[in-house]
Amino acid sequence: MNRVLAALCILAGVVMTLATPALAAPIDQASWNARKQQVKLANGITLSYIEMGDPRGKPVLLLHGWTDNSRAWTILAPHLMKHRLLIPDQRGHGASTKPACCYAISEFANDAILFLDAKGIAKADVVGHSLGSIVAQWIAAEHPERVGRVVLMGSTALAPMTRDHPLYREVLAFKSPPALGSDFMRMWSPAASPTPVDRAYVAHSEPEIASVPLQVWHGVMREIVEVTIGRFADQIRAPVLILSGGKDEIFPAEHHAALVEAFPAAEAHVFPDLGHNLNMERPEEVGPVLARFLKR
């Protein structure tokens, strides 16, 4: 009997190994920027981007948040390598063009569509975090034929910002971008997340956040204040996945509730211990949920 049980345990282990795909190796943070390519869009904006994963896989467009850049997806990307991942620095961020003006959500969304055009991609799944999730909603509503599935991480259907919010007043009072080591940067850094974020990621990310130009800090803030993001939700036909952090201080519980109300057919998950940067905090929790949704 013991031999039979032992054989069954070995067999179960083999089956589990076959059923669970091997996770890609962690992405080297030091070489990330050196891997970037550039493409000039039809509107004159040049976007830097990284393409990785399976070139024959389903295209997945990953859109980062405000003051982040494509690096924001390096923690989760190993869970998604069966797809063709397209990861741009959005305008004003990373190594992309940083125009003096024009940081409306519609501008970011138009850049994304022109980026897909430039890459010869007719349709893609769109995954957005924070600002990127707001852009994703605009794309899915305005260009439904270009979007397969939508993932909204650390997102909202409400107004992302109000004029009486301390962050609104603080950012618009900036005379220059916040300095490394400042109180604001300590609060804004991924290192301030409620669960630990990879140290190498933080070390590279913080100087990049500090290098975001003043017009991006001001321009995005002015465009999102008092604007209800979910006003186009009824025009989005693509399947939607909502991923929220239970300790998100930027978009707390009422924002998740508003998303669920705006997208009643959506699949929704709250990760109780995670904050706003749930794409960076615990990839072993968030990655499999995201991968399963995109696989369908």
CA separation (Å) from 232 to 95, 104, 140, 221, 246? 31, 16, 9, 20, 25
Q: CA 255 to CA 65: how far, in whole Å?
A: 16
165 touches 136 (CB < 8 A): no
Q: CA 91 to CA 100: how far, in whole Å?
A: 11
How many helices (H) and strands (E) the chain has is answered by 10, 8
Q: CA 24 to CA 30: how far, in whole Å?
A: 17
- Catalytic hit among 48, 70, 96, 130: 130
Note if 276 is an active site residue. Answer: yes
Q: Which two tokens stand for residue 92?
A: 């004003």
Q: Which two tokens stand for residue 266?
A: 């959506």
230 touches 254 (CB < 8 A): no
Residues 31-59 as b or e (16 or more Cβ within 10 Å = b): ebbeebeebebeeebebbbbebbeeeebb
CA separation (Å) from 264 to 129, 250, 292? 20, 23, 20
Note if 130 is an active site residue. Answer: yes
Q: Reduce the DSSP state of residue 147 to 3 states and report it.
A: strand
Detail the DSSP E strand segments found in the chain: 37-40, 46-53, 59-63, 84-88, 124-129, 147-153, 240-245, 267-271
Q: CA 9 to CA 3: how far, in whole Å?
A: 10
Could you list the active site residues?
130, 276
